Structure 1
Amino acid sequence: MDDTQTMHAMGIDDAYHVEQVLARGPRGVTELVTIDGVGPFVRKKIPTVLAQRGVWSALGGSTCPRLPRVEATYELPDCVAVVLDYIPGLTLEQAVAERGRLQQNEAVSLAQQICEAVQELHRLGILHRDLTPANIIVADDGAHIIDLGIARPFTNTANRNRDTTALGTYGFASPEQYGFAPTDVRSDIFSLGRILGFMLTGIYPDDASYATLLADDPNITPRLRAVVERASAFEPSARYQSVQQFAQALTAPSDPVDPVVPAPVSMLGASNGGIRTRAIIIAAIAGIVIVALVAAMTLIPRWVANGDAEGTAANGTSQNAGPQPNTSPDDNDDDMVPSPDSSTQDSEDDDATRGDAAYDNPLELVETGWSADESGLVHYAFGLRNTSDSVCIQFPSVEITGRSEDGSVLFSHTQALMVAFPGETTYFGSQAGNSNGTVPATVDFTILEPEDYNYVNSGESASFKVDNLNAAPDGYGGEIFSGDIFVTKDSERVREQSSQLNVSLVLRDDAGAIIYGYTTFVDWPPEGGSRPFSMDVFDPPAYDSFEVYAQPW
């Protein structure tokens, strides 16, 4: 932008009067504005690096009444501003909170209206990727989609086997949005199925009672329950393949499309290195819990006041477990030695032998820590070491459990990593828990015992160096952590099995204790080169130092 364009855009921006700030977070600020007494309108200011101009351009050409109408767009030096029409009404989240589960006919009617909006987005070449009850307004004339914050245009995914950014809202975002596969129209269909389930049950899909209430025959017919389950199937090929199919199924007496037999889960596509299908399925399911970072981007948490200004999460509740003994059932300090039965080698695996025999678990937790915001979400990190000098562990898993003062379980999930190389320590940071305002008193970390097929006798490994680290305010109440990733030990075989890297941020207090973890994903650095990364963390706790780690994913 030249000076004239900048001054013109700033003049437009100043003409709007901010009536209320609706939301503020790492992806920008949303405001209720008026101009010359006309309005109100909704103005979104999106950081330039995150703005999907193609989405707003395509949306401007739509006449669908269930999508926001673009009134104006303009660019400022550091952001793109989009002004949209304001739709009065309750969000679907608020409506269900006030009234409880909806009657079937009303839920189906609203679902069809939402489908109308999503079908138009797909016609325009846009994936929404964050369809949730909080992003849907129930107005006098029905349902409207109001937020396209992480929508993106369709792209050619022929050369991508997964999305590079894990985004979406826990419980409603599809499994492939957490780094296991590229998103497509079926990702939005997954969210539509979960929204229908939310309306019919009155609770979120991650609630322990969700499956029970969905199976409540007096209130939900088996036919409609089957529609919910098919739309939100784990494997994309098992879902409805278009929004039109899903909309037709809502009222059809029988399924309007041929039955689909779920294809084997292929999101972590096995290479000729021989990753077993069973291990892939387990890892993919366990890996869904990466969704915790998603909530951090959408819920705009505030930290519970606690501690001093010098550290120990001065704006948050935190706890650090310090160095940890191995908490798995079979604690053994010896290096793992394959049993005699493991000497037989599968010719397809070359130098990688998977066990059909028992091994001693070489994994140990060397360090853990966490903090919680006032919504109850826990931001954690841990260091996991493979003490063996010769055996690689595929998909090592750690169970994270939050408990209240009386010891009752508030949440529990399993976090699977891609690999633990021999003799190396892997750090991982992410988010867990429930956003219901309940802060856990304790958070426990437990290594889950690997199965025989998780063990691989292989010297293949890859390692990385993170350099040029920097932390700077993002202008929206958060910090941007950035740097470059270099490959210090490369492996063609590891590259074949993992096209991406997980990048984990670890924040520490002045005593060196872990108080926060965060994660993002990037592609592998090119051979002989580096890969830049940045992660925008909204309202992190006060910290003394930070570290960033990279590992294959």
Structure 2
Amino acid sequence: MDDTQTMHAMGIDDAYHVEQVLARGPRGVTELVTIDGVGPFVRKKIPTVLAQRGVWSALGGSTCPRLPRVEATYELPDCVAVVLDYIPGPTLEQVVAERGWLQQNEAVSLAQQICEAVQELHRLGILHRDLTPANIIVADDGTHIIDLGIARPLTDTANRNRDTTALGTYGFASPEQYGFAPTDVRSDIFSLGRILGFMLTGVYPDDTRYTPLLSDDLHVTPRLRAIVERATAFEPSARYQNVAQFAQALTSPTDPVDSYVPAYAVQRPVANGKPRPRTVIAVAVACVAVIAIVAAAVLIPRWIADGSDGGAANGTSQHAGSRPDPSTDDDGDAADPGADPSVRDPAGDGAAHGNAEYGNPLELVETGWSADESGYVHYAFGLRNTSDSLCVRSPSIEITGRGEDGTVLFSATQVLMFSFPGETTYFGAQAGNGNGIIPATVDFTVLEPEDYNYETSSESASFKSANLHAASDGYGGEIFSGEISVAKDSARVREQSSQLNVSLVLRDDAGAIIYGFDTYVDWPPEGGSRPFSMDVFDPPAYDSFEVYAQPW
């Protein structure tokens, strides 16, 4: 800013009369102001280094009545000032404190109004990141979202592995807001679910009464409880993938609890209209978990206690690695006698070359992925430990999406818990930024373990799946369900993992991986099984699916 601009901005600033300081902290000051007897307005002064100018610029172009209207913005030498219209009325926090839990029809109505505002924010490319009852005004004309102090542009996710700073309000902020992954629209959906739970129970999510009240059928219907639980799933891929899905579930006459137990399996038609037979493969494997989320479970256990746009949209972009050909080596020559084709890397994604003492026994067997129109990548890979005596702890796979020109669109590292000797593990999940840019390529690379990641051990655990089903969810998606039981138990492994990861892998008619998805269940009881279900929104056309389970 030059001197003239500075003087002009200071003149505007002085024209406002501060009626009351509403809040003050390291992220700025919020004031109630008037100008020439007109107002009041809300003025936020945000330190220049923290100001997200793109957020306020985008918000200024919105006509949504449930969002604050930007009256003016100007820059001072050390801060950015934003003047907003003032919405009179109590906060949702105050309403619930005064009245207690809300009637379910009122809670649903208010939640729908909040969804209108959040959906508009996402349309504008804004992620709120601090949706709480204290930031929602219940005015005469309905709810209004306020305080976009830590909002950021959705396009700001490029090249992020995770958000760099823990932000948000405890109990309503998503797990990824504590540094374990980048935030996206599903982070706001987590907060929406917690707000709905708050309205239905009348207590905060970290209150010991929250879970019992939410679980009480006389207090909260199973349908609404299922909506809250899905929206607040710890893993983002298990939540509603956009606000429209969440809003639709609020008014859907279908009970989502019932929909998780499909009565029939569907056959996906091929292009000529003839049904394609569905091949269902139950696979037993063991050994994958995400260390970052295990760390999260230790750091924020109350989340665990309380508890896409998935799928390739109309085949927008699909890429898959192929299965290994046992008849040839990578160079096209005949395979060596006795060679195990399952340890080859047909896609050329390549394991690292290992360290001097151990070498790297980890190899990618196969990889595959597809992308939806939002730019999210749904991937799966098979990782084999070729050693017969070394267990690898915290094996890591680097997943990188690139544009046509080779530009890195996203990069993420998937850290697993174990890779047991002589075993192959399959894992499926989601990556990418959801910014609408579909990568041209996605590369998978095995990162070289450190010496301390190796352990001489033959200990392992494996699982089997049964009663697998696939059925339409009635909204363009499919529900995959079944049961997981223990094939080989290990008390030592149980001590080090609290749950199981259940991964879904979809394949095309050539047998190549085209999609991955996952969910989490508790360890099955001894001699018993543990049911699971995954609601996959708009999956790509597939020929067969497989389900894998491994310690978490």
Task: Give TM-score, length-normalised by structure 1.
Answer: 0.51
Stretch deviating more after TM superposition (345-354 or 135-144): 345-354
Structure 1 residues 280 and 48: alpha-carbon distance in aligned structure 2, compared to 1, 3 A threshold: closer
1:183-194 equivalences in 2 (<5 Å): 183-194=183-194
1:202 counterpart residue number: 202
Counterpart check, 1:346 vs 2:379 = no
Q: Which residue number in structure 1 is paired with residue 266 of structure 2?
A: none
Q: For the residues of structure 2 that align with 1:225 and 1:351, how far apart are their CA atoms?
A: 36
Q: Distance in 2 between matches of 1:149 and 1:113?
A: 21
Q: How does 1:41-52 map to 2 (within 5 A)?
A: 41-52=41-52
The match for 2:143 is 143
Give the residue type in structure 2 aligned to 1:282.
Answer: V
Shift in Å, 1:125: 0.3
Aligned partner of 1:507 in structure 2 is none
Query: Given the superposition, is the C-alpha separation of residues 105 and 53 from structure 1 closer, same or farther in structure 2, using an over 3 Å criterion?
Result: same
Aligned to 1:240: 240
Indicate if the aligned counterparts of 1:132 and 1:195 stay in contact, CA closer than 8 A.
Answer: yes
Shift in CA distance, 452/106, structure 1 to aligned 2, threshold 3 Å:
closer
Q: Which residue of 2 aligns with 1:277?
A: 289
Gaps of 5+ in 2: 262-285, 304-386, 397-416, 421-450, 456-491, 498-552
The alpha-carbon distance between structure 1 residues 25 and 450, as it changes in their structure 2 partners (threshold 3 A), is farther
Separation (CA, whole Å) in 2 of partners of 1:94 and 1:122: 27
Aligned 8 A contact 2:102 2:199 in 1: yes
Matched residue pairs, number? Answer: 304
TM-aligned CA deviation for residue 275 of structure 1: 9.4
Instruction: Rate the CA distance shift 1:2–1:350 in 2: closer, same or farther, 3 A.
Output: closer
* Equivalent residues of 1:355, 1:452 under 8 A apart: no
- 1:22-41 deviation line (CA, Å, top 9, x unaligned): 00001000000000000000
Amino acid at match of 1:239: R
* Partners of 2:392 and 2:418 within 8 A in 1: no
Q: Does 1:122 align with 2:134?
A: no
Change (3 A) 1:257 1:122: farther
Cα gap change, 1:450/1:17 in structure 2, threshold over 3 Å: closer, same or farther? farther
Alignment of 1:152-551 (within 5 A): 152-155=152-155, 157=157, 159-254=159-254, 277=289, 279-288=291-300, 345-346=389-390, 348=392
Q: Which amino acid aligns with 2:39?
A: G
Matched with 2:443 is none
Q: Distance in 2 between matches of 1:241 and 1:258?
A: 20
Residues 2 and 104 (structure 1), Cα distance of their counterparts in 2 relative to 1, 3 Å cut:
same
Is the 1:66–1:117 Cα contact (8 Å) retained in structure 2?
Answer: yes
Q: TM-score, normalised by structure 2?
A: 0.51
2:172 maps to amino acid: F
Superposition deviation, residue 282 in structure 1: 2.5
Contact 2:138 2:144 in 1 (8 A): yes
Equivalent residue number for residue 474 of structure 1: none
CA contact (8 A) 1:238 1:260 kept: no
1:99 aligns with 2:99: yes
1:302 alignment counterpart: none
Give the Å deviation of 1:215: 1.5
Matches within 5 A, 1:30-109: 30-109=30-109
Equivalent AA in structure 1 for residue 104 of structure 2 = Q
Cα drift, residue 256 of structure 1: 8.1
CA deviation vs aligned residue, 1:321-350 (integer Å, no higher than 9, x gap):
xxxxxxxxxxxxxxxxxxxxxx98426569
Deviations 1:161-220 (A, max 9, x none): 211121111000111111111111110000000000000000000111101011122231
Distance 1:96 1:122 in 2: 27
- Structure 1: where are the runs of 5+ without partners? 262-273, 292-342, 357-389, 395-448, 455-553
Classify 1:20/1:350 alpha carbon distance in 2 versus 1 (closer, same or farther; 3 Å): closer
User: What is the CA-CA distance between 1:285 and the residue it aligns to?
Assistant: 1.6
- Cα distance, 1:130–1:275 mapped onto 2, change above 3 Å: farther
Name 2:356's counterpart in structure 1: none
Q: Which amino acid aligns with 1:175?
A: P
Q: CA deviation at 1:278?
A: 6.6
User: 8 Å contact 1:55–1:151 — kept in the other structure?
Assistant: yes
Tell me how far apart the structure 2 counterparts of residues 230 and 351 of structure 1 sit (CA, whole Å): 29
Contact 1:355–1:453 (Cα < 8 Å) also in 2 = no
What is the rounded CA distance, in whole Å, between the counterparts of 1:148 and 1:247 in structure 2? 21
The corresponding residue for 1:112 is: 112
Q: Deviations over 1:417-461 (max 9, x none)?
A: xxxxxxxxxxxxxxxxxxxxxxxxxxxxxxxx999759xxxxxxx
The one-letter code matched in structure 2 to 1:286 is V
Question: Per-residue deviation at 1:286?
Answer: 1.9
Q: Aligned pair in 2 of structure 1 residues 451, 195: CA closer, same or farther (>3 Å)?
A: same
Deviation for aligned residue 1:156: 5.7
- Kept in 2: contact 1:245–1:256 (CA 8 A): no
Deviations 1:83-124 (A, max 9, x none): 000000000001100110000111011000000000000000
Equivalent residue number for residue 384 of structure 1: none
| Structure 1 match to 2:133 | 133
Task: Name the SS of the counterpart of 1:41 in structure 2.
Answer: strand
Secondary structure of the corresponding residue to residue 298 of structure 2: helix
Which residue matches 1:11? 11
Aligned identity (percent) is 80
Letter in 2 for 1:283: A
| CA distance 1:290–1:25, shift in 2 (3 Å) | farther
For the aligned residue pairs, the C-alpha RMSD in angstroms reads 3.4
Partners of 2:223 and 2:256 within 8 A in 1:
no
Which residue matches 2:281?
Answer: none
CA distance in 1, matches of 2:496, 2:198: 37
Give the conservation status (yes or no) of the 8 Å contact 2:89–2:138.
Answer: yes
Question: Any idea what SS the aligned residue of 1:90 has?
Answer: coil
Contact (CA 8 Å) 1:279, 1:453: kept in 2 or not?
no
User: CA contact under 8 A between 2:230 and 2:238: conserved in structure 1?
Assistant: yes
Per-residue deviation, 1:63: 0.2
